[in-house]
Structure 1
């Protein structure tokens, strides 16, 4: 088989578990630590197979942090609620028709379930919209990593002519500033700032909300020592996942999101995905030919709900996606039973969206100076 060079970039960082902004955070954290300690102590009561599998999984994946807060964007309840409002507010688009939630629909696990998203004037983007759930833990944002964090990422689609299409930052801040209720909320969310309503703070508010979108699942209960959290087939699927070396790229608590990797190590990816367009990935950002077809490894959390798959949404069936990945990255073909078991296991990574995020915000009305929708 022809040898191919590929790159793996390990850039861990930013996965900070600080504390929950809600008033009960200290008590909840202590309770969680007590439960984890108790779970660890109780491993001795489990079967040898469960003990081995849990300990191996803990060493590879680790516990999902309870908080994604960072020092550069401290959370408070008003900022998070303001961010949720802006996340749903289509007035941040030229047409006043497209919001962050249009492409990252929380009702469908933070995606739109389209190969590529529909933007301004029905234009189509060139990449699949990744889920916003748990995205704050990623080492970088977008498939090509062109944004360092969710604070930077939140500002970019608003000004992208294919997506929300505002012509410049001042239009966005002007529309939001024209709404008196938003003026008041920004003053509370960003106390002590001389001018709290800025474009950067619009991004920080949206990011603050996104930093609360953490989805623990049954797999996390299994890691804590609840052997009944996974079914026998899910445990078999976890074993198959590890035996197939899927964790080579899909490790850490997110099962991904922490490294860049070439998509198609053993053969060109489009040979198996049938992709209509050839995407050079990070090479278009870095201008480094050695990074051609390199993308950020996606997280596998909630993967059963975030179809279609890959950077271009070219594959709709998760079993097919698993088979393609093993052949592209390792040059091996998995058996049907292995694929079935892995896919069943991946279902255990489907978590619960925070209840507060599932409640739609009531948006304030426009004023006479907010402006009208522009479909040009």
Structure 2
């Protein structure tokens, strides 16, 4: 029996209010409208950004209201398509994207950026193009995080925010390319353009930072220093390419001073993967003058970074990256190919696997630093 054109009742993890555990509920997912695709989500990850928005400040709540289905790093299978959809068919394997690529606007046509703004204003506040969500619970609209909401067994996304991937790709691995790994890896190879034999420092060794380490390794950097206050992550960093690791807590001087000394004058590339303005400043100041490059990959929405003008005047470059600089719809399938061809690691990032009804445990392990990524299976095994 086909479900196309019908409302689907399924399970989802709902954040009814900030600061409280998610609740597993029966939700109704409406059919897709024009230029929308309904997908069956198979696997999703719990990202630091999900954690941040579960524990919202009142300031942020004005922009992303509750109740909310979080999740923006997932992979699944097309269940049905709405009118005017031409690039997807039921059965396609896909990765939903929080960053669109319409392929029509000036930004999509430009090689200088990946920041398409199709449906952007709406998805940032949890709704789709018509101003409503496709998910409801107990007769109430439930907002979709970044237009995705992968913590639901079914979700509906715009067709410009969806990457079709090869049919043999394992969804329980490639879901990582929906956010963390793509962001960190791209920060190094796409945005920063790390060069062979260079000296690099990666600040923060979560999923994004470890992927940045992997990117520096792929670019054949000579020195790759991983930096984190959690030494339990050092072994994984070394596995992915770090040549050494540093715990700032072990020094009585600033971490930028430590890195400048270790690199004999400063690193060529610093990649900030924490989302802390103080760490961003430290990353910039750890680079060598004249040509040092600092790439900010960590997300921060409400704070300001302190930049000494002299640090820029002396020739350093400060850059930001969003989703690693990748053109989402066209580049994610290439990253999947790289994984399938054994030139990109993903398995090493998955430290835990849990069913949907234990998703709060995944948040706990993320917060206490014992996990890199937990793969959440949305369907019984």
Q: Structure 1 length normalisation: TM-score? A: 0.29
Larger RCO (CA within 8 A; separation ≥ 6): 1
Higher helix proportion: 1
Find the structure with the greater CA-based Rg: 1
Higher strand proportion: 2
Q: Structure 2 length normalisation: TM-score? A: 0.29
